[in-house]
């Protein structure tokens, strides 16, 4: 006999499933009609990450630092000496963002990189004003070009309306 026929016979003769369900003797099965165990409104809502965190710590999670306080702390970190930052990094009783930013500033000092400081100052004081000009292919904006001034977040008040914005020291012709 082929293997398929043996399998078919085994399936036909097998006693699969719960035998109490066939006879109606299962006391744990759902009753016809209303059953209080049936969830008619669907599955319960999933917990948010904040709710899971609150369950772990055993209470409501409320941040201690407001946005302005966080910015003040970042500005204060930028004013510290490298020796003071090394002491801050070793502390275990400070907020993690303070230790992390102090460590980033120390790494930036070691690598002579100003990106971290620029990011902190952009967050604290807002990014400087940017100017975008749409011109024709020849670079002429007098024939209907549009100039858009992006907001400066209160960082600077002086605008140069038109003309070359490069400082005189950089405004030299390239050598040929």
**Strands, DSSP E only, in 93-176?**
131-134, 146-149
pLDDT tens across 23-43, in order? 666 666 666 777 777 777 777
Tokens of 102: 């102090």
Give domain limits for the chain.
67-125
Residue 83 has pLDDT above 60, yes or no: yes
Per-residue pLDDT at 141: 62
Cβ(88)–Cβ(100) under 8 Å? no
Most confident of 19-23, 39-43, 88-92: 88-92
- At residue 55, does pLDDT exceed 70? yes
- Say whether pTM exceeds 0.85: no
For residue 77, give the nearest of 68, 86, 67, 66 by alpha carbon. Answer: 86
């Amino acid at each position: 006999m082929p293997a398929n026929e043996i399998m078919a016979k085994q399936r036909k003769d097998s006693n699969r499933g719960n035998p109490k369900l066939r006879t109606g003797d299962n006391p744990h099965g759902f009753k016809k009609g209303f059953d209080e165990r049936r969830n008619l409104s669907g599955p319960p809502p999933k917990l948010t990450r904040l709710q899971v965190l609150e369950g772990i710590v055993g209470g409501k999670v409320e941040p201690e630092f407001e946005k302005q306080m966080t910015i003040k702390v970042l500005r204060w970190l930028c004013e510290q000496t490298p020796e003071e930052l090394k002491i801050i990094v070793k502390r275990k009783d400070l907020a993690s963002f303070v230790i992390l930013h102090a460590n980033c500033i120390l790494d930036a000092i070691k690598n002579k990189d100003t990106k971290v400081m620029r990011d902190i100052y952009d967050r604290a004081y807002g990014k400087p004003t940017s100017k975008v000009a749409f011109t024709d292919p020849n670079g002429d904006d007098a024939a209907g070009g549009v100039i858009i001034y992006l907001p400066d977040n209160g960082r600077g008040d002086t605008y140069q309306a038109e003309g070359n914005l490069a400082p005189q020291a950089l405004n030299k012709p390239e050598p040929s």
